[in-house]
Structure 1
Amino acid sequence: MTQPKAVLLDIEGTTSSIAFVADVLFPYAAKHLERYVTANSEAVAPILADVPGENKVATLLDWMAEDRKATPLKTLQGLIWEQGYADGTLQGHVYPDTPEALHRWYTAGVAIYIYSSGSVAAQKLIFSHSVAGDLTSLLSGYFDTTTGAKREVESYAKISAAIGFDPKEILFVSDVQAEVDAARMAGLGALLIDRNGGPADIHSLAEIRL
């Protein structure tokens, strides 16, 4: 594999705990959804326009329950979480090896990007209000479902074009085999991470020396 000039990271299960998203962020958004929509009706109207049904909140809660990767839902969740981070209720979880790896790669001149199904706004919140402090200065950019689904080869081709690197110069890391496969089919280097020690290429970001 070509020496990577850029690293593209998934969040859940890769930089951060799946449990943080599932057990902290999602319940927080569900709890505050109706109140937020009511209090910010004018601002959220364009977002709700893309949500079917008469009872938009009910539809959004259903989507949340089934973890649907719908852009309107992800956008709203990000806005709700923004309030929680701002008032200190929420802090973004990152594994201890995550900030260490980010600093190491950044110092080595490697560009670091995030690609997650959570909205770009939500991604920025996790890293700007992380338990390790504000890590956003180490990151060069963010991608979400507006670029395309994470299991589609075309999404990785789009990201390569957007950041201006040849696909083979980009290393993608995810805990989902189908995403790793799609990235590889697009010509990227890709590693499967399993933080529970299961069959995978790596079990920690500390193993990636660039």
Structure 2
Amino acid sequence: MTPRLVLPKLILTDIEGTTSAIAFVKDTLFPFAQAELDAFLAARGTEPEVAAILAEVPGPDQAATLRGWMAADAKVTALKSLQGHIWAAGFADGRLRGHLWPDVAPCLRAWHAAGVALAVYSSGSVGAQKLLFGHSAEGDLLPLFSGFFDTKVGGKRDAASYAAIAAQKGQDPAQILFLSDVAEELDAADASGMMTCQLIRPQDGTVASGRHRRAADFPGVARLFNLPLPA
């Protein structure tokens, strides 16, 4: 792959395995949603917003369908939206705090201060994304971001999804840098014309694909793409 040396105008980042530990999602958020599912459906299942999500869940036993999707870690928009609502209660009362690797928030702040736009693209719902960054262990980081995207824009391994994000942001894909730990997602972003960098965090056991530039942390990304480092 030929390296691109254009300074990114927009950085689009994944969450799980990139800004945050895979274990946080797997060992904290997913079990929380599973444990709270029945009580949430009983208390709020008839609310219009929740009912609209449940209308997309097939089968006579919707709770069973949802649990099946949870067990399979299915990338189903209805499931992700519902999980976001369940997590909202936990973030609101302090039972949950969004995990970020220590290097992430300082770099995001430095890049934002330098005029680089920031956006998120994750299989988790936009609502869940905002909860994580709005109630992170590093404080409220929502003001740093100008966009949030989930699977409603398309699958993360589909080049058309990245083209759609670029179009919505009014940016040339060649001026967007996508950060992810998943090589196949990076392949799709690259196919759309974006710059790419694979995060290889030893704590998450990510394996380098060899097809993309790679960095162990966000300062490493900054050095590769001539982005500012935190003071």
Superposition TM-score, scaled by structure 1 size: 0.98
Distance 2:16 2:45 in 1: 30
Residue 154 (structure 2) pairs with residue 148 (structure 1): yes
Deviation, 1:45, is 1.7
Equivalent residue, structure 1, for 2:217? 204
1:108 aligns with 2:114: yes
What SS does structure 2 have at the residue aligned with 1:190? strand
User: Is 1:56 the counterpart of 2:62 in the alignment?
Assistant: yes
Counterpart residue number, 1:138: 144
Question: Which deviations, in whole Å up to 9, do the C-alpha atoms of 1:103-132 show, x marking residues without a partner?
Answer: 110011000000000000000000000001
List aligned pairs for 1:10-29, cutoff 5 A: 10-29=14-33
- Unpaired segments ≥5 residues, structure 2: none
Q: Output the TM-score relative to the length of structure 2.
A: 0.89
State which of 4, 7, 10 in structure 2 corresponds to 1:3: 7
Q: Which amino acid aligns with 2:70?
A: M
Amino acid at match of 2:217: S
Amino acid at match of 1:76: L
User: Residue 31 of structure 1 corresponds to which residue in structure 2?
Assistant: 35
**Alignment partners' CA distance in 2, 1:107 and 1:49:** 42
Hey, what's the Cα distance between the residues in 2 that align with 1:32 and 1:76? 11
TM superposition shift of 1:91: 0.2
Deviation of 1:3 (Å): 1.2
Q: Is the 8 A contact 2:12 2:178 kept in 1?
A: yes
Report the AA paired with residue 208 of structure 1. Answer: V
Root mean square deviation, CA, Å? 1.0
CA deviations on 1:51-101 (whole Å, 9 max, x unpaired) are 111000010011001000101100110000000000100000000011011
Counterpart position of 1:162:
168
The alignment-based identity, stated in percent, is 50
Q: Which amino acid aligns with 2:15?
A: I
Deviates more, 1:172-181 or 1:44-53: 44-53
